[in-house]
């Protein structure tokens, strides 16, 4: 029989790595809490219509990356390729945007049918931040400071640069598009194939073409930042001044555009060159038009998404993961003979008294020797041994597995004291 395998580009997360993910997620969550952002959760499947209407028909995502299928009753559904559209849908549906501001976050899997490679998967995970109801630029700065603090807390601030651009108002963008298409049309034949196609479908996206010939042509192209409307230009200047004052370095990248249609004004990415081609760990910007586009009242909004796999790859590549994330068993309870119920009871009493202790209680019997082998393999520092003698006397034998110290036989209360003395941190919990 053919072995069953996970779908290509969709990864299992094994227990040896889950400590790293928990560390990453908890660090990010604690910073969101510091800024008083609140979590929102929404389904991983939505109607296909939602993504088509928000992300845009002529984007990479909608054209070729979505996992779309017909439900049993014929409705077209799609696994979410990103969170912003769903977040807006959920907020609108439940009236969260009516006359109020929202500072929100979510974390979870996203799905895109791309070619799997390092830092690019078909199921990947994003932390998303979305803020509604504020025109900025103060909130733009807050969102950027929040992302900067996350990168600092994880110890990778010196591995990333903040690239910043303004995409202007939709009118300014439309005028710029015309100028860009006029310019690029002269070189149509020299452009790469994708860019030729985009000349009519989505010309702004040509700006982030990675093709060297196209890039050379772009060097002479009109610059988006020089076509900004007055309000967007003032917004951008103000934002840059606030970031400078806050001590957050940035680079203005006039060719930075976002792959999704709904962005305007502020656009940004945190990029690293420690990860090869998949160097964008965080990307976002302002999308003042999206809520209205999806049927709500005009609502200013800004947000970003962090690719968690890429961020974790960056922590691994730069050795920024703290020691001991793979927290294992501290105490292994060995139970030899007819002592099962007594062992269970002792283990539960230890857990009552020491909620911070990682205690593994042996199940399934076996000889003293084979249980001690398992205790050693578990990584535990201490084995507690319950044999028939101990059970009769209400005692446990305590054996140190990693140091040369004599074995002791203690009452349960003494054992608790001894474990507290061995791991003083247990008393703080």
Does residue number 205 form part of the binding site for ligand ATP (CB under 6 A)? no
Q: Does 330 bind ligand ATP (CB under 6 A)?
A: no
Give the relative orientation of helices 230-246 and 138-153 as an angle to the nearest 10 degrees: 40
DSSP 83: S
How many residues interact with ligand ATP (rule CB under 6 A)? 17
Stretch that binds ligand ATP, among 16-24, 118-126, 333-341, 347-355 (CB under 6 A): 118-126
**Please, what is the minimum distance in Å from the beta carbon of residue 279 to ligand ATP?**
8
Is 204 among the residues that bind ligand ATP (CB under 6 A)?
A: no
| Distance of alpha carbon 265 from alpha carbon 170, whole angstroms | 9
User: Is residue 310 close enough to count as binding ligand ATP by CB under 6 A?
Assistant: yes
Which is it for strands 331-335 and 382-386: parallel, antiparallel or unpaired?
A: parallel
Task: State which residue, 120 or 399, has the beta carbon closest to ligand ATP.
Answer: 120
305 near ligand ATP, rule: CB under 6 A: yes
Give the nearest residue (CB) to ligand ATP.
307
- Give the residue, chosen from 124, 132, 268, 287, that forms a contact with ligand ATP under the rule CB under 6 A: 124
**Interaction mask 247-286, ligand ATP, x per CB under 6 A:** ------------x------------------x-xx-x---
The phi, psi pair for 31, rounded to 5°, reads -75, -40
Count each helix (H run) and each strand (E run) in the chain, helices first. Answer: 15, 16
Residue 114 or 389: the one with the smaller Cβ distance to ligand ATP is 114
Applying CB under 6 A, among 121, 132, 236, 332 the residue interacting with ligand ATP is 121
Q: Of 121-129, 239-247, 313-321, 349-357, which segment contacts ligand ATP by CB under 6 A? A: 121-129
Gap between the Cα atoms of 270 and 251, Å rounded: 10
User: Under the criterion CB under 6 A, does residue 209 sit at the interface with ligand ATP?
Assistant: no
Rg of the chain over all Cα atoms, to the nearest angstrom: 28
Q: Determine which residue in the list 25, 63, 114, 408 makes contact with ligand ATP, applying CB under 6 A.
A: 114
Q: Is 247 exposed, middle or buried (0-12, 13-18, 19+ CB in 10 A)?
A: exposed
In our burial notation (b when 16+ CB lie closer than 10 A, e otherwise), range 147-178 reads bbbbbeebbbbebbbbbbbbbbbeebbeebee
How would you class 116 by CB atoms within 10 Å of its CB: exposed for 0-12, middle for 13-18, buried for 19 or more?
middle
Q: What is the DSSP letter of 132?
A: E
Question: Given the rule CB under 6 A, which residues bind ligand ATP?
Answer: 82, 112, 114, 119-121, 124, 126, 259, 278, 280-281, 283, 305, 307, 309-310
């Amino acid at each position: 029989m053919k072995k069953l395998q996970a779908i290509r580009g969709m990864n299992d997360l094994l227990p040896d790595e889950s400590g790293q993910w928990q560390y990453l997620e908890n660090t990010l969550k604690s910073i969101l809490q510091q800024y008083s952002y609140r979590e929102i959760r929404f389904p991983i499947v939505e109607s296909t219509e939602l993504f088509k209407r928000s992300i845009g028909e002529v984007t990479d995502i909608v054209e070729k990356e979505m996992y779309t299928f017909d439900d049993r009753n014929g409705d077209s559904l799609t696994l979410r390729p990103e969170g912003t559209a769903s977040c807006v849908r959920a907020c609108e549906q439940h009236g969260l945007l009516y006359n109020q501001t929202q500072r929100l976050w979510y974390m979870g899997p996203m799905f895109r049918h791309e070619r799997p490679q390092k830092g690019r998967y078909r199921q990947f995970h994003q932390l998303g931040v979305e803020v509604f109801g504020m025109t900025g630029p103060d909130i733009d700065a807050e969102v950027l400071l929040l992302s900067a603090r996350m990168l600092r807390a994880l110890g990778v601030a010196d591995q990333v640069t903040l690239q910043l651009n303004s995409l202007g108002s939709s009118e300014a963008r439309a005028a710029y598009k015309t100028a860009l298409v006029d310019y690029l049309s002269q070189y149509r034949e020299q452009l790469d194939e994708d860019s030729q196609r985009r000349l009519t479908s989505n010309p702004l996206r040509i700006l982030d073409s990675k093709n060297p010939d196209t890039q050379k042509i772009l060097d002479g192209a009109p610059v988006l930042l020089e076509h900004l409307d007055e309000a967007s230009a003032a917004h951008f200047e103000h934002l840059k001044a606030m970031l400078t004052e806050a001590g957050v370095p940035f680079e203005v990248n006039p060719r930075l555009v976002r792959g999704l249609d709904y962005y305007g004004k502020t656009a940004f990415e945190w990029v690293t060159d420690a990860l090869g081609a998949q160097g964008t760990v965080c990307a976002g910007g302002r999308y003042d038009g999206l809520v209205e586009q999806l049927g709500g009242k005009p609502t200013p909004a800004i947000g970003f998404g962090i690719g968690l796999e890429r961020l974790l790859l960056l922590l691994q590549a730069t050795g920024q993961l703290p020691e001991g994330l793979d927290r294992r068993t501290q105490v292994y309870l060995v139970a030899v003979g007819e002592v099962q119920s007594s062992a269970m009871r002792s283990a539960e009493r230890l857990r009552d008294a020491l909620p911070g202790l990682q205690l593994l209680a042996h199940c399934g019997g076996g000889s003293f020797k084979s249980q001690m082998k398992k205790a050693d393999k578990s990584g535990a520092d201490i084995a507690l041994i319950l044999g028939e003698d101990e059970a009769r006397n209400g005692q446990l034998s305590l054996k140190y597995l990693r140091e040369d110290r004599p074995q002791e036989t203690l009452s349960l209360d003494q054992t608790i004291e001894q474990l507290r003395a061995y791991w003083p941190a247990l008393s703080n919990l």
